[in-house]
Amino acid sequence: MGNPDPSPSPVDKAAENFRYYASTVYPGRSPLYVSLAMRVAEDPELLTIAAKAWEKNALPNLFFSAVHFLLLKGEHHQLTAFYPSLNNNSKHYDLAYPYFRSFVLEHENEIEGIITARFVQTNEVGRCAILVPAFELVARQAKNRPLALIEIGSSAGLTLLWDRYHYQYNKNLQCGDPDSPVQVECLLRGEKRPPVPNRFPEIASRLGVDLNPLDINDPENVQWLRALIWPEHRKRANQLELAIQLAKRTPPQIVRGDALELLPSLIKRVRDDIQLCTFHSFTLSLASGKPRERLELMLAKASEKRHLFHVSFEWPKNSETPLLSLASLNNGENTEKVLARSNAHGEWLEWLGDDG
């Protein structure tokens, strides 16, 4: 009998990643990245560079963001002609690859340094529009007691400040401070309407946990957050800038570390008369089964001593779209409901739960 087939190499895994993103993630959202991902997937030389970070989540986003990061910093190259984020309106994305390839090979060491040191930590403010209806349900079930929020994978903490933004779902459905500098628009799909608050719940405390928190007072970190936004998405980039300026005035607290290790002690600090709610968005989507299972077991154990809620906005592997869910955990029992489906950046929402 012959030897069994060897497991895929890092380059093979990288190629598979780029093909998946070219066919599933980027279409309809980033024509530039669709074109580039298709070509990178068949380019052994560029795949070898990208594969230096093959174990990291969302490798194509990481690789493309490293290039975008260098371009935003002012690297002069003909490739900039294909990036709308650099004040260009070229739509000839099918012509970009030779210039992209040239840029990557010229900056191989810098790109390798970026993808090995940094992570995909997109702090997408638009996702807050998806989270708000879930927080409204938490507030209702908590009988409007003050909430203690703990966010898992908070990046720079911009989604922790969701109650300081204004949301417009349609002409007749909006909430939040109309004078907020951050105006979030979200289109509604389907027949049902999500529950939105007349007034946001009182937030007794808010805390983020992240393996690598991004300090927005560091210009390099701000540039990295900007680079993570796909080049065609100027509205998202502008929204990011406004949210960063607001966060600088009232920065949330973020703890560095592994949430799976820190959560038990953080939960114990929350007073019994305050309603605890943990949440995350696009933090566990690409995690393997064990971290997800450990989190569920940890929250179930914590619920033996106190009632808590858990809001999740993730993209399960078996789903065509990201899903919003809400779990109520009490005495070790977990009652979880899928509330809505959405796109990855929160630009539309289809409510699946009871009408608001």
Q: What's the pTM?
A: 0.92
Q: Please list, in sequence order, all residues whose beta carbon lies within 8 angstroms of the beta carbon of residue 228, skipping any fewer than 6 positions away.
A: 61, 65, 68, 120, 121, 122
3 within some domain: no
Q: Please list, in sequence order, all residues whose beta carbon lies within 8 angstroms of the beta carbon of residue 141, skipping any fewer than 6 positions away.
A: 309, 328
Residue 173's domain is classified under what CATH number?
A: 3.40.50
Same domain, 157 and 304: yes
Q: Which pLDDT does position 292 carry in this prediction? A: 77
Q: Which pLDDT does position 355 carry in this prediction? A: 66
Structural domain span for residue 50: 10-117
Same domain, 133 and 99: no
Q: Which of 98, 117, 136 is the last residue of a domain?
A: 117
Q: Which pLDDT does position 288 carry in this prediction? A: 53
Same domain, 272 and 221: yes
Q: What CA–CA distance (Å, rounded) separates 18 from 24?
A: 10
Closest to 311 (Cα-Cα) out of 275, 283, 279: 279
How many folded domains does the chain comprise? 2
Same domain, 250 and 215: yes
Q: Which pLDDT does position 317 carry in this prediction? A: 79
269 within some domain: yes
Q: Which two tokens stand for residue 216?
A: 């927005």
Same domain, 72 and 148: no
pLDDT in tens, the chain (356 residues): 455 557 889 999 999 999 999 998 999 999 999 999 999 999 999 999 999 999 898 999 999 999 999 999 988 899 999 999 997 777 788 999 999 999 999 999 999 999 999 999 999 999 999 999 999 999 999 998 999 999 999 999 999 999 999 999 988 899 999 999 999 999 999 999 999 998 999 999 999 999 999 999 999 999 999 999 999 999 999 999 999 999 999 899 999 999 889 999 999 999 999 999 999 999 886 555 577 788 888 999 999 999 999 999 998 878 889 999 999 999 988 899 999 999 999 999 999 987 66
Q: Please list, in sequence order, all residues whose beta carbon lies within 8 angstroms of the beta carbon of residue 30, skipping any fewer than 6 positions away.
A: 230, 231, 232, 233
Same domain, 147 and 41: no
Q: Which pLDDT does position 87 carry in this prediction? A: 74
Q: Which of 65, 97, 117 is the last residue of a domain?
A: 117
Q: Which of 88, 117, 146 is the last residue of a domain?
A: 117
Same domain, 62 and 131: no
Q: Which pLDDT does position 1 carry in this prediction? A: 45
CB 146 within 8 A of CB 274: yes
Length of the chain: 356
Same domain, 129 and 241: yes
